[in-house]
């Protein structure tokens, strides 16, 4: 981490400046959605139970006692601890709700109704509220009340059945893909609803399901099956519609190679010093190459074993042939080009330095700057009550004494 550039918090993006988000979420998907909104300029109030977000306890690994999973998805937020089960807590929640433009929750529908944090209850209090629910199976349907995590959503979607080598069992994707995809969908839909609200003044109910976001991610596998009836199986990524599009061994380290067009096919053979090979009969189109995939893969593999990975990558880059390394995380996070683009950095919070993965969006020629590091539990409770609701110290002290905040 010490090698990462130190970035100071600043003004950050202003695309959603003036928007206030009330964040009732825990774990990964919901917090990722609200972090995206915060990264783009919204003020995100992370409303936490006294015990905090579930992800605060996820570890090891911890960094000075804090979960690194939590730190990954909670930048640009202010944390306010509130016990909504008490009457004073409910009144405080409703006061905060009146200040919000968007509310994001990942509570199951039954819990929403029990706590009166469902859309029907809250839209009655604030008709122009954008209410974004992010659950495992959605707010309706036979599975709506079932518990769900990323792993379960990946299993439903089909991605685990297609991930891994042919001889392996089903494999989970190496990151919480369903969580991150659903979180991104929730942020995108919330922004679209904010845009529509500018014209109509109306609030909206947004219903995002982990299973559906993950399944939509499989569209380029599902549609070919639905259209052809051909059921794909695990292949270690060697059965792409593109021929050739997979990993290969070299004299030292493996690489990825994507020969996705007839022009690239010709440039590949020129790059490896065999320009005449590109003119072979019966290989001029992708369909023809697919029919000969096994033989072509064997031939290309033999060629690539002649030199090391970096030598080939230099040649392919010069020839505009898509290829790349297969990085470990230590190699990815030390990638000079990614560091130059501002994707990885450290933030200071007091005496602690926190690693971060940036938004990956550049505005006006620069990476988006963070405004706030991930918050400590309840770090902003007093500040928010003073700024948003005008509470004085006596009222705040009374709420503390009653264990509401």
Q: Provide the annotated active-site residues.
A: 179
Helix intervals (H) in 118-275: 119-125, 150-157, 177-200, 210-216, 219-228, 262-271
E strand or H helix that includes residue 382 = helix 381-389
- Helix/strand/coil for 351: coil
Could you write out the DSSP letters of every residue in 89-123?
Answer: HHHHHHHHHTT-SEEEE---HHHHHHHT-SHHHHH
- Evaluated on CA atoms 165, 170, 175, 180, the torsion sign reads positive
Q: Tell me how crowded residue 118 is: count the other CB atoms within 10 A of its CB.
A: 20
Q: Which residues pair with 323 in a beta bridge?
A: 257
Query: Within its chain, how far is the Cα of 158 from the centroid?
Result: 19
Query: Tokens standing for 3?
Result: 């090698």
- In the DSSP assignment, the letter for residue 92 is H
Within 8 A by CB and 6+ apart from 66, the residues are 56, 374
Place of tokens 């893909």: 177
- Widest CA span in the chain: 86
Residue 243 in contact with residue 285, Cβ under 8 Å?
no
- Nearest Cα to 401, choosing from 161, 23, 86, 191? 86
Extended beta strands in 35-176, E state? 43-48, 62-63, 66-67, 78-81, 102-105, 130-135
E strand or H helix that includes residue 206 = strand 204-209
Place of tokens 């495992």: 136
Pairing verdict, β 78-81 and 66-67 = unpaired
Residue 344 in contact with residue 338, Cβ under 8 Å?
yes
Residue 398 in contact with residue 99, Cβ under 8 Å?
no
């Amino acid at each position: 981490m010490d090698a990462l550039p130190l970035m100071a918090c600043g003004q950050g993006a202003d695309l959603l400046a003036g928007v206030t988000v009330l964040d009732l979420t825990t774990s990964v998907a919901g917090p990722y959605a609200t972090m995206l909104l915060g990264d783009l300029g919204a003020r995100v109030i992370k409303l936490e139970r006294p015990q905090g977000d579930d992800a605060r306890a996820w570890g090891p690994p911890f960094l000075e006692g804090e979960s690194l999973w939590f730190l990954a998805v909670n930048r640009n937020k202010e944390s306010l601890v509130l016990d909504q089960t008490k009457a004073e807590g409910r009144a405080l929640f409703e006061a905060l709700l009146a200040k919000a433009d968007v509310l994001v929750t990942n509570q199951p529908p039954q819990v929403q109704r029990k706590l009166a944090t469902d859309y029907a209850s809250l839209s009655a209090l604030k008709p122009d509220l954008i209410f974004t629910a992010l659950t495992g199976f959605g707010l309706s349907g036979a599975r709506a009340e079932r518990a769900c995590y990323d792993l379960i959503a990946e299993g439903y979607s089909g991605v685990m059945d297609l991930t891994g080598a042919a001889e392996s069992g089903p494999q989970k994707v190496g990151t919480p893909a369903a969580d991150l995809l659903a979180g991104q969908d929730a942020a995108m839909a919330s922004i679209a609803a904010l845009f529509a609200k500018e014209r109509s003044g109306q609030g909206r109910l947004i219903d995002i399901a982990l299973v559906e976001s993950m399944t939509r991610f499989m569209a380029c596998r599902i549609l070919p099956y639905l259209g052809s009836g051909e059921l794909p199986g695990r292949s270690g990524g060697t059965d792409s519609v593109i021929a050739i599009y997979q990993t290969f061994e070299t004299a030292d380290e493996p690489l990825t190679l994507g020969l996705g067009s007839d022009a690239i096919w010709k440039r590949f053979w020129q790059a490896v010093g065999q320009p005449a090979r590109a003119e072979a009969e019966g290989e001029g189109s992708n369909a023809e190459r697919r029919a000969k995939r096994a033989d072509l893969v064997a031939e290309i593999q033999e060629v690539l074993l002649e030199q090391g990975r970096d030598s080939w990558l230099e040649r392919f880059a010069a020839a505009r042939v898509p290829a790349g390394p297969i990085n470990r995380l230590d190699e990815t996070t030390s990638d000079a080009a990614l560091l130059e683009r501002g994707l990885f950095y450290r933030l200071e919070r007091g005496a602690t330095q926190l690693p971060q993965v940036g938004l990956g969006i550049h505005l006006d020629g620069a990476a988006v700057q963070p405004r706030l590091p991930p918050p400590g539990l309840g770090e902003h409770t007093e500040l928010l009550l003073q700024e948003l609701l005008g509470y004085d110290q006596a009222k705040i002290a009374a709420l503390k004494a009653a264990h509401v905040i």
